[in-house]
Amino acid sequence: MRGTANEIHTQNGNPVTETRSDPIEEDTGHPRRWAILAVLVISLIVAVLDNTVLNVAMKTLADPNEGLGASQSELAWMINSYTLVFAGLLFASGVIGDRVGRKRMLLGGLFIFGLASLLSAYASSPDQLIWYRALMGAGAAVMMPSTLSILRDVFSHKEFPKALGIWTGAVGIGGAIGPIVGGALLERFWWGSVFLINVPIIVLGLVAIVFLVPESKGRQTRPDLVGMLLSMVGLVSLTYGIIEAGDSGSWTGPEVWGTIGFGVLVLVAFVLWERRIPYASLDMGLFKNRRFSASSAIITLTFFGMMGLMFFMTFYLQLLKGYTPLETGLLFLPFGASMLIFAPLSNALVERFGAKTVGIVAMLLVSSNFVVTGLAYEADTSVWLIIAMFFVTGAGMANLMPPAMNTLMSSVPKERAGVASALGNTLRQTGGALGVAVLGTVMAQAYQSQIADAVPQLPEAAQSDLPSTYAAVESGAIPPEAAPQIMDAANTSFIDALHTTAFASIGVALLGLIVIAAFFPGKRREQGPVAEPERAAEPALSEV
């Protein structure tokens, strides 16, 4: 059924009504929408998978015989170059996609990602791999906002939350299977195979997108070139400072606070610029909508806590528990599997119980991992408890992310879907990077304090973190007769530091609970506007 529909949204904080001549919301959506979803999910998994697969290849890449002989700093930048470019280009890519076409951006991003994967597989030096990883980050940034924008275009309002749940589950499973795929490949092939595996999948994805996915664009307004430039410079500078703080374990150096401060100033200039021009890339009036602002905060806070703690669980599982990279990847699988199971069901729970109730329960499930880690995890903790907590945490994430992302996506008209998608992904990326950096500093300082008290004679270079202590023992820098005592002290210090970090994560989760309880709508209030968010007047949304 086709007809006209009035949309009321905001432009610089003022209600604007548009009349569209397109399918009304009772439409079932694009006839190939589920096939399109499958293609987009596969494309998304490749990008997310490769963001985690490199973690298990670090030891191999550091080996001068089997890998590239990369130094610790070079290994860090193989990950950071991807993150830096990805975070910096995400928002601008979403804006450009709305203007030039989401399908074009998706195809272009996939092609860049595939080319960079091929180049990475045959890199002959650490510097080459760092630059190729940066190119992969650019490809991922170009294509990721388009996946959600296309979903918003081909699905009706009724089915979009379910499709978004599947999309969210794909993010979770992609991150979980990355270490598994990487570990399995490294046991049988050379290190380049972790990148080469992407190429045939991307080729198939490109062909499927050409024939299945329709093109869609937003309204053709004057391009906000200044705004896009400010967003890129600000996000790159902010992300670089956060990464540098995480790597150094300190927030006091001028390279840290200087770049973070510069990034914040540029982003403030971006906000002021967007508020004063009529063709803004990001309508700042959206943040007057409490549901929109609360959802943005929850996305950032959740990934802050989860990415920070999950990063250190890798050290816990491999160094203290002694699991191989493949076994570690398998232990993370319950997290992704739980997200894949529960994310598509989240909208039904929200409709039945309300976003506030579902959000509070989901945040409590996520927080349970922090509590158990802080109180119960020791060197001899049962692996079954770890598996259970990963599954419970995945269920919590699955019921937090889809409603929050749905609010962001539904707060703007379909023509600006790329902006909302890019904003959501930027918040996730920035929150995750900030979590790793801040919680990394907490953990590093706690570990250094504990190990210095336990082993005063330990060289300073071996006190920064547990891997450094292990490396000092394995290299022979520490007398063999002292190694067992030092390793016992290092393991104990790491567990104490892990507990401290978990308690810090609990504080972040409590802040998230306050946001949900204060600003998420309850069941009775939510009926109506949630079903057709673009047709509801902005004042009604703000009253929730």
Q: Using one digit for the tens of pLDDT, what is the confidence trace for 486-511?
A: 888 888 888 888 888 888 888 888 98
Q: What's the average model confidence in pLDDT over 333-340?
A: 83
Residue 106 vs residue 88, higher pLDDT: 106
pLDDT at 454: 74
pLDDT at 116 over 70: yes
The pLDDT of residue 14 is above 60: no
In the block, which residue shows the tokens 């630059």?
131
pLDDT band for 3, please (50, 70, 90 cuts): very low
Query: Measured between alpha carbons, how far is 7 from 417 in angstroms, rounded to an integer?
Result: 14
Neighbours of 118 (CB within 10 A): 16
Q: What is the pLDDT of residue 119?
A: 94
The predicted structure's pLDDT at residue 178: 73
Instruction: Find all residues with CB under 8 Å of 308, minimum gap 6, and list them.
Output: 432, 435, 436, 438, 439, 440, 501, 505
Provide the CA 480 distance to its chain's centre, in angstroms. 42
CA angle at 277 for the pair 271 and 282, rounded to the nearest 5°: 50
- pLDDT tens digits, 81-96: 887 788 778 778 877 8
Residue 143 has pLDDT above 60, yes or no: yes
Q: What's the CA gap between 104 and 93, in Å, rounded?
A: 11
Average pLDDT score over residue span 28-39: 80
Sign of CA dihedral 164, 151, 424, 169: positive
Task: Tell me what pLDDT residue 412 has.
Answer: 66
pLDDT at 385: 92
Q: Which pLDDT score, from 0 to 100, does residue 388 have?
A: 92
Mean pLDDT of 217-235: 77
What is the residue type of 361?
V
Q: How far from 508 is each of 262, 286, 306, 501, 504, CA to CA, in Å?
A: 25, 24, 10, 11, 7
Nearest to 518 by CA among 355, 305, 286, 287: 355
Structure confidence by residue, pLDDT tens digits, 348-404:
888 888 888 888 999 999 889 889 988 988 888 888 999 999 899 888 888 888 777
In contact, 109 and 146? CB cutoff 8 Å: yes
* Mean pLDDT computed over 450-475: 71
Q: For helices 325-342 and 290-315, give the axis angle rounded to 10 degrees.
A: 160
Task: Determine if residue 476 is left, alpha or beta; phi over 0 gives left, psi from -120 to 50 gives alpha, anything else beta.
Answer: left
Q: Which of 93-102, 118-127, 219-228 has the lowest mean pLDDT?
A: 219-228
Instruction: Give, for 131, the enclosing helix (H) or strand (E).
Output: helix 126-154
Q: Which two tokens stand for residue 368?
A: 């349970």
The pLDDT value recorded for residue 413 is 67
CA distance 290 to 292: 5
Quick check: helix, strand or coil at residue 101? coil
Chain CA centroid to CA 541, Å:
27
pLDDT band at 532 (very low <50, low <70, confident <90, very high): very low
The pLDDT assigned to 301 comes to: 86
Question: What pLDDT is attached to residue 250?
Answer: 66
Indicate the DSSP class of residue 461: G
Tally of CB atoms within 10 A around 452: 13
Of 78, 68, 80, the closest CA to residue 190 belongs to: 68
Look at residue 220 in the predicted model and tell me its pLDDT.
Answer: 58
Please give the average per-residue pLDDT across 517-524, as a whole number. 75
Confirm if 394 and 337 have CB atoms less than 8 A apart: yes
Query: What pLDDT score does 27 carry?
Result: 57
> Which of 76-80, 229-233, 421-425 reaches the highest mean pLDDT?
229-233
Q: What whole-number distance in Å separates Cα of residue 91 and Cα of residue 69?
A: 35
Q: Is the pLDDT of residue 523 over 80?
A: no
What would you report as the CA-atom Rg of the chain, rounded to the nearest whole angstrom?
23
Looking at per-residue pLDDT, the higher value among 33 and 115 belongs to: 115
Q: Express as a percent the part of the chain with pLDDT over 90.
A: 6
pLDDT for 6 equals 44
CA 392 to chain CA mean position, Å: 19
Residue of 246 and 319 predicted with greater confidence: 319
CATH tag, 34-223: 1.20.1250.20
Q: What is the pLDDT of residues 238-297, one digit of tens each?
A: 878 877 776 666 667 777 888 888 888 988 898 888 888 877 777 777 777 777 788 888
Mean pLDDT, rounded, for 178-207: 82
Which of the pair, 275 or 26, is modelled with greater confidence? 275
The more confident residue out of 220 and 94 is: 94
The pLDDT of residue 240 is 81
- The CA–CA distances, whole Å, from 375 to 389, 395, 500 equal 13, 21, 10
Please report, rounded to a whole number, the percentage of residues in the chain having pLDDT higher than 70: 81
Distance CA 464, CA 446 (A): 10
d(CA 182, CA 189): 10
Going by pLDDT thresholds of 50, 70 and 90, the confidence category of residue 132 is very high
Checking if the pLDDT of 529 tops 70, the result is no
Q: How many CB atoms lie within 10 A of CB 357?
A: 16
Determine how many CB atoms are found less than 10 A away from the CB of residue 7. 18
Q: What residues does each domain of the chain span?
A: 34-223
Tell which residue, 148, 168, 179, 169, has the closest CA to residue 51. 179
More confident residue, 115 or 156: 115
Other CB atoms within 10 A of residue 334 CB: 20
Mean pLDDT for the chain? Answer: 77
Strand 2-11 relative to strand 14-23, pairing: antiparallel
Residue 101 backbone zone (phi > 0: left; psi -120 to 50: alpha; other: beta):
left
* pTM check: above 0.75: no
| Closest listed residue to residue 281, CA positions, set 217, 215, 229 | 229
DSSP 3-state of 261: helix
- Residue 462 DSSP symbol: G
Tell whether the model's pLDDT for residue 5 goes beyond 70: no
Q: Where are the alpha helices (DSSP H) in 249-289?
A: 254-276
**Contact by Cβ (8 Å): 375, 197:** no
Highest mean pLDDT among 203-207, 212-216, 432-436: 203-207
| Residues in contact with 455: Cβ distance below 8 Å, sequence separation at least 6, in sequence order | 485, 486, 489, 490
Instruction: Determine contact, residues 450/437, Cβ cutoff 8 Å.
Output: no
pLDDT of residue 543: 32
pLDDT category of residue 461 using cuts at 50, 70 and 90: low
H helix or E strand, kind and range, residue 21: strand 14-23
Residues 345 and 111: their CA atoms lie apart, in Å, by: 33
